[in-house]
Every structure is written in structure tokens, then in C-alpha cells.
């Protein structure tokens, strides 16, 4: 049994709209703060506040969704939180106001990502989860690209604050798309997948595994370490590059930052469904290592040549890791929790590890940039990215089930 076409289209639209809305955060914040005289250390501090808020929200959000199945309500609250944070950023960028906006955004982004992953697990056929996750990444990448174009043009030709206002308005179509995901399709998840967590709580066949048992699983522990190191290297790469753009390009910085986001997003949109299919056919581990390799390569390229054209070219590599992590992280977590449940808690723990790595990375890279310059900061981030690859190679087992368990995928048929 497949979910209604209207629900699957609404899920596509939800991923598109929230990615377009969230394009208002990240590098655009760095560009605006740099233009207002903020140094890299101060920018790293407020970005770290967002990551700290995400740390606090990860596990509680995962527990709530696992326990109560509150997928759509959690997503709606998170969309509203993002809208509030963007409206705060339209005002004069005083320290406390920016700090508050980043905290609200960090917590809201966590609830939204976990809720969308839970919805996807519930409406996907078991043998198509990888490709469905790939489509999530595709529509998210397209939404981020188009949203970034619009925000970059408005920030360049009208006013930087107007870009944040437009991003907040994009929350309205996100809420409408969420409303189009039918409750009946979420309630019949047990007919499409044997995953323990996918059905609504009262339809699950057994209690979930104890939390202690989940935390002793080697695959999960290796994945958590991998994600912490990956985000330690990845999270501040583009914000640091945006700082360089702001210093060298002046009023064109918003437009250049937009290009640095759009080009890899287009590559991620092209690659992500193929990554999902390949992961179902050939396993997760090798694909994950290939995706992770984009971080040290990009960081080394930024350190070697700080010219804007070369950095934009190197930034294309971000599309590879975006496609790989966007598909493989929830897919590996689904593998690990297939029989025992606690999918959202495990995904929240992965997000927690990512947030801790991102928080440490933005603070350290900003400090290194202040004292030793941007090339030294990029080299430090390359080391972290390389460590993530080595951890997967040494400790993460293959989690994919045998391809015989997915005959439809093995025969090459398309996802519903």
C-alpha cells in the first residue's frame, strides 16, 4: 500500500518551502553582521548560540515524537518558531536581539527536521525509504536554491533586512503544505513498513527497546562520533567564506554568498535520489565515506586559494556531502532502530552530536581566524573532516539489510 499521491506531493512541497525559508539563516546572517562591523569571533559566538539551542532541543524533541507520534504538531510549531526568529532579524542587529533570534531558530530547526524525518518514515514504503529521503533532499535543495536567489537579490538591491522578511513569509506555504499531509496516511504506516517506530504509538506491536540498549549499539555510537566530527569541520566553512566575501566584495557580498549556496544545492538536487537508490542497492558505508570526503577537500581548497572565483568552484563539493548526509544519516538511523524502535530519539542523538560539533567548530574556527587568519582556520576544519572519514572506516559497520529484502529495488522499479 502506498501513501496518497496528495500526501507525497505535500511532503515534497513541505521540504521545498521550509528549505526556502531557512535560507534566510546561516551565511546571510554572517554577511549582514560583518557589514555592521562584527568581527569573526562575535559572529561565531551568536552562531554557536543557535547550535547550543539545538543541543538542548534534540533529545527532548526525539522523545516527544517517539512517545506521542506528534509529527505534524511538532512541525507546525517549528515553522512558526523559524518565522519569529526571521522577523527578529529584520530589526536592527543588536547583540541580544541577534542572539535571541539564533536561539529560537536553533531549537525550531531541530523540531522541524525530526518531524519531517518521522513523517517520511511513516508515509514511505520500506523498500523505498532511501529514494524517498533522496527526494526530500532534492526538493529541499531546489527550495534552498530558489529561496537563496530571491533573498540574495533582495539583500543586494533593496535592503538586507527585507531578505529576512521575505524568508519569514515563506513559512505560510510551508504550513499549507504540512496541512496537505493526510492523517490517514500517517495512521496506516504499519501497512507500508515493518519499522517499529513508523506506526502511531497505539498501533505498535511491542514496546521500544530500552534507552540503555540503544546507547550501547556500536553502529549508533560510531555514527554519533562521525557526525560530531563532520559538523566540526563543515558547519563554519561557508560562514567563514562569507566573511571573506564580505571583506572583498562589499555590496556584492549577498549575491556572491547566494551563488555559494545555490551551486552546491543544485548538485545535491541532482544527486540525492541516486544516492538513495545506490544506498538501497549497494549499502551505506562506502557512500557515506565518499560524501564525507567533500569537507576536507573543500577546506583545503579554501586554504590554498582565497580568491572568490576559486572558492565558489570549491564550494560545489558541498553538494556532494549535502546529498550524502541528507539521505544516509536518517537511513542509517532507520536501519539501526528498525526492530527496536526509538528512531526519533536516535536521530535526535545524531543531531545532538552534530550540534555539539557545529558549536565547537564555529567557536574554534572564529577564534583561529581572529588570531591566525582564515587559511589557518580552514586547515583546522580539514583535519576534523578527515577524522570523520577515518572513524567511519574503522568503526562503523555496514547497516544495510540484504538487497534480497528489497526485491522491488533490486529489480530497478521506481518509487511510488
**Backbone angles phi and psi of 194, in degrees to 5:** -95, 5
Q: How far is CA 266 from the centre of its chain?
A: 15
Q: 5-184+215-400: which CATH number, 3.40.50.150, 3.40.50.450, 3.30.2350.10, 1.20.1250.20? A: 1.20.1250.20
Cell match 532511501: residue?
130
pLDDT in tens, 156-166: 777 767 888 88
Query: What residue ranges of the chain have pLDDT lower than 50?
Result: 403-416
Contacts (Cβ under 8 Å, ≥6 apart) of 117: 330, 343, 344, 347
∠ CA 25-361-170 to the nearest 5 degrees?
10
Contacts (Cβ under 8 Å, ≥6 apart) of 268: 137, 138, 141, 318, 319, 320, 322, 323, 326
> What does pTM read for this prediction?
0.85
Nearest to 164 by CA among 147, 141, 142: 147
How close are the terminal C-alpha atoms of the chain, in Å?
A: 10
Say what the pLDDT of residue 328 is.
Answer: 96
CA distance 215 to 142: 35
Phi-psi region for residue 37, left (φ > 0), alpha (ψ -120 to 50) or beta?
A: left
**Backbone angles phi and psi of 188, in degrees to 5:** -105, 25
Is residue 188 classed as helix, strand or coil in its secondary structure? coil
∠ CA 54-291-117 to the nearest 5 degrees?
45
State whether the Cα torsion 392-394-396-402 is positive or negative.
positive
Task: Give residue limits of the domains in the chain.
Answer: 5-184+215-400
Say what the pLDDT of residue 250 is.
Answer: 56
Say what the pLDDT of residue 390 is.
Answer: 96
Q: Go through 153-171 and write b for each residue having 16 or more CB atoms within 10 A of its CB, e for each that does not.
A: ebbbeeebeebbbbbbebb
Measured from the Cβ of residue 122, the count of other Cβ atoms closer than 10 Å reads 25
pLDDT in tens, 19-53: 999 988 866 787 778 777 787 778 878 877 887 88
Say what the pLDDT of residue 45 is.
Answer: 82
Say what the pLDDT of residue 41 is.
Answer: 76
CA distance 331 to 169: 31
Amino acid at each position: 500500500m502506498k501513501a496518497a499521491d496528495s500526501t507525497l506531493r505535500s511532503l515534497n512541497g513541505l521540504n521545498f518551502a521550509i528549505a526556502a525559508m531557512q535560507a534566510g539563516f546561516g551565511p546571510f546572517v554572517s554577511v549582514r553582521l560583518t557589514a555592521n562591523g562584527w568581527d569573526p569571533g562575535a559572529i561565531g559566538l551568536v552562531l554557536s548560540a543557535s547550535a547550543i539551542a539545538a543541543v538542548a532541543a534534540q533529545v527532548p524533541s526525539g522523545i516527544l515524537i517517539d512517545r506521542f507520534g506528534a509529527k505534524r504538531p511538532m512541525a507546525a510549531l517549528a515553522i512558526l518558531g523559524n518565522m519569529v526568529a526571521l522577523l527578529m532579524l529584520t530589526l536592527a542587529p543588536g547583540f541580544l536581539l541577534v542572539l535571541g533570534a539564533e536561539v529560537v531558530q536553533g531549537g525550531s530547526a531541530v523540531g522541524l527536521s525530526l518531524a519531517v524525518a518521522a513523517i517520511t518514515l511513516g508515509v514511505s514504503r520500506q523498500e523505498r525509504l532511501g529514494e524517498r529521503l533522496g527526494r526530500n533532499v532534492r526538493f529541499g535543495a531546489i527550495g534552498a536554491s530558489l529561496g537563496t536567489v530571491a533573498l540574495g537579490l533582495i539583500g543586494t538591491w533593496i535592503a538586507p533586512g527585507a531578505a529576512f522578511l521575505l524568508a519569514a513569509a515563506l513559512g505560510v506555504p510551508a504550513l499549507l503544505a504540512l496541512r496537505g499531509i493526510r492523517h490517514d496516511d500517517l495512521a496506516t504506516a504499519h501497512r507500508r513498513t515493518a519499522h517499529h517506530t513508523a506506526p502511531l504509538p497505539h498501533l505498535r506491536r511491542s514496546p521500544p527497546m530500552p534507552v540503555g540498549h540503544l546507547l550501547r549499539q556500536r553502529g549508533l555510537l560510531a555514527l554519533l562520533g562521525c557526525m560530531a566530527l563532520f559538523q566540526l569541520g563543515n558547519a563554519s566553512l561557508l560562514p567563514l567564506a562569507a566573511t571573506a566575501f564580505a571583506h572583498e566584495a562589499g555590496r556584492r557580498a549577498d549575491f556572491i554568498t547566494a551563488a555559494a549556496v545555490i551551486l552546491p544545492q543544485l548538485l545535491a538536487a541532482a544527486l540525492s535520489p541516486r544516492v538513495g537508490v545506490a544506498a538501497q542497492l549497494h549499502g551505506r558505508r562506502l557512500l557515506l565515506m565518499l560524501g564525507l570526503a567533500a569537507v576536507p577537500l573543500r577546506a583545503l581548497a579554501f586554504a590554498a586559494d582565497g580568491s572568490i572565483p576559486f572558492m565558489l568552484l570549491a564550494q560545489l563539493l558541498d553538494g556532494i556531502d549535502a546529498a550524502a548526509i541528507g539521505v544516509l544519516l536518517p537511513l542509517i538511523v532507520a536501519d539501526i532502530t528498525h526492530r527496536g524502535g526509538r528512531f526519533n530519539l536516535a536521530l535526535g542523538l545524531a543531531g545532538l552530536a552534530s550540534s555539539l560539533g557545529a558549536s565547537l567548530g564555529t567557536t574554534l574556527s572564529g577564534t583561529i581566524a581572529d588570531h591566525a587568519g582564515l587559511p589557518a582556520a580552514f586547515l583546522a576544519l580539514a583535519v576534523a573532516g578527515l577524522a570523520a572519514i577515518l572513524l567511519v572506516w574503522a568503526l562503523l559497520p555496514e547497516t544495510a539489510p540484504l538487497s534480497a529484502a528489497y526485491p522491488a529495488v533490486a529489480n530497478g522499479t521506481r518509487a511510488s
